[in-house]
Amino acid sequence: MNHMVTGAYVGGFAAPLFDKRGLMIHKRRLRQSRLQVLVLEAGQDQTEDPRVQTPALWPGLVVTDSDWEFMTAPQVALNGKQIPLLQGRLLGGSSAINGMAFIANSKDKLKELGLEYVDESVNGKNGPIQASFPDAVDDPIANAWVESLRGLGYPMLTDPFSGHACGGYTNATTIDPVKKTRSFSANAYYLPAKEHDNLHVVTEAVIQKVLLEAPPNGDVTATGVRYMQDNSSFTVIARREVILCAGTFNSPKTLELPGIVSRTILERFEERHRRRTPYVLNGPRLLVVLPTR
């Protein structure tokens, strides 16, 4: 079965219209737009699930159907033990099962990744995600952690959001201060935009491949995606763009299936890839590898 949409978004998480991060839908722009937007999510819509809504219940979703249940390779240093690599598989992605800590990154680490610390264009005080300090801000146990770290020589001397923070402090959480429920991409971005008839969210739809068009001497274009739902295969043709936001492990995997490989992997397996896929196109942080003739 084929669908035609203006944009397909793979991965129902955390978007011009979307800000290129899955479910972060700008509902005003969606209302004004004539674009037809399709969001495809492998997991279910558990927005009303108490385990998602109730902050203290988040560990109950780990290693269930709401998690991709990825495991590391056996770790030599751990006597062959495998460690679960948690990733949300539900509408809202990992933001629906995470620990809700509202903390800031280190400037140096982001620089290493080639990213700006703060993108001023998305900075503001009125975003849909709600944050609050836990009631336990004066809790003696929480304070004991702060004091212990101070005693070990790690006092928090700077603003935790300065990008140079080191030390213990009680952080805010992405918990709605009034309802005391989890604030995450599905209830903060999707629910308010749900009624728009140009937004279509399909759950339990597993993307198998981004479809590419590669003219012999032209740029490679993503033309759509193929996904599975209820043992049936569907092809979506996107007239404008395909935005992939399937998480740390599944985004690269989904790109690798049609032959888009990261530079690091390509270098490691250079000979093998060259033999199979001699056309290599350069992107800013990706190499796009295509079949020969």
Ligand X SMILES: Cc1cc2nc3c(=O)[nH]c(=O)nc-3n(C[C@H](O)[C@H](O)[C@H](O)COP(=O)(O)OP(=O)(O)OC[C@H]3O[C@@H](n4cnc5c(N)ncnc54)[C@H](O)[C@@H]3O)c2cc1C
Out of 7, 22, 168, 258, name the contact with ligand X by CB under 6 A. 22
Angstrom distance (rounded) from CA 11 to CA 21? 9
* Burial class, 10, CB count within 10 angstroms (exposed 0-12 / middle 13-18 / buried 19+): buried
Give the distance from CA 202 to its chain's centroid.
17
Out of 5, 9, 12, 47, name the contact with ligand X by CB under 6 A. 12
Candidate ranges 81-89, 115-123, 160-168, 271-279; the one touching ligand X (CB under 6 A): 81-89
Virtual torsion, Cα 45, 88, 43, 184, nearest 10 deg: 20
Residue with CB nearest ligand X?
Answer: 93
25-41 burial by CB neighbour count: b if 16+ within 10 A, else e?
A: bbbeebeebebbbbbbb
* Interactions with ligand X, residue window 199-228 (CB under 6 A): 206-207
Closest C-alpha to 43, from 98, 7, 91, 113: 91
Candidate ranges 98-106, 108-116, 132-140, 158-166; the one touching ligand X (CB under 6 A): 98-106
Report yes or no: 23 and 185 within 8 Å, Cβ to Cβ.
yes
Rounded to a whole number of angstroms, the minimum distance from the CB of residue 101 to ligand X is 3
Q: Where are the alpha helices (DSSP H) in 113-262?
A: 140-151, 185, 191-193, 247-256
The number of residues that bind ligand X (CB under 6 A) is: 32
Strand partners, 209: 226
Rounded to a whole number of angstroms, the minimum distance from the CB of residue 236 to ligand X is 12
Out of 89, 130, 287, 288, name the contact with ligand X by CB under 6 A. 89
Candidate ranges 34-42, 47-55, 213-221, 274-282; the one touching ligand X (CB under 6 A): 34-42
Strand partners, 84: 71
Specify the residue, 8 or 272, whose C-beta has the smaller distance to ligand X: 8
Q: Which two tokens stand for residue 40?
A: 């495809």
Neighbours of 24 (CB within 10 A): 22
Q: Does 168 bind ligand X (CB under 6 A)?
A: no
The helix or strand, by DSSP H or E, that contains position 5, with its residue range, turns out to be strand 2-10
Q: Does 5 bind ligand X (CB under 6 A)?
A: no
Out of 17, 35, 37, 42, name the contact with ligand X by CB under 6 A. 42
Out of 5, 8, 10, 243, name the contact with ligand X by CB under 6 A. 10
Candidate ranges 29-37, 71-79, 93-101, 186-194; the one touching ligand X (CB under 6 A): 93-101
Cα distances from 288 to residues 133, 220, 255, 260, in angstroms, run 44, 8, 9, 4
Out of 36, 94, 130, 187, name the contact with ligand X by CB under 6 A. 94
Out of 7, 168, 224, 247, name the contact with ligand X by CB under 6 A. 247
Q: Does 93 bind ligand X (CB under 6 A)?
A: yes
Specify the residue, 56 or 101, whose C-beta has the smaller distance to ligand X: 101
How long, in residues, is the chain? 293
Rounded to a whole number of angstroms, the minimum distance from the CB of residue 96 to ligand X is 8
Which residue is listed with tokens 């201060």?
177
Angstrom distance (rounded) from CA 80 to CA 192? 46
Binding site for ligand X (CB under 6 A): 10-14, 21-22, 40-43, 62, 86-89, 93-95, 97-101, 103, 206-207, 245-247, 250, 254
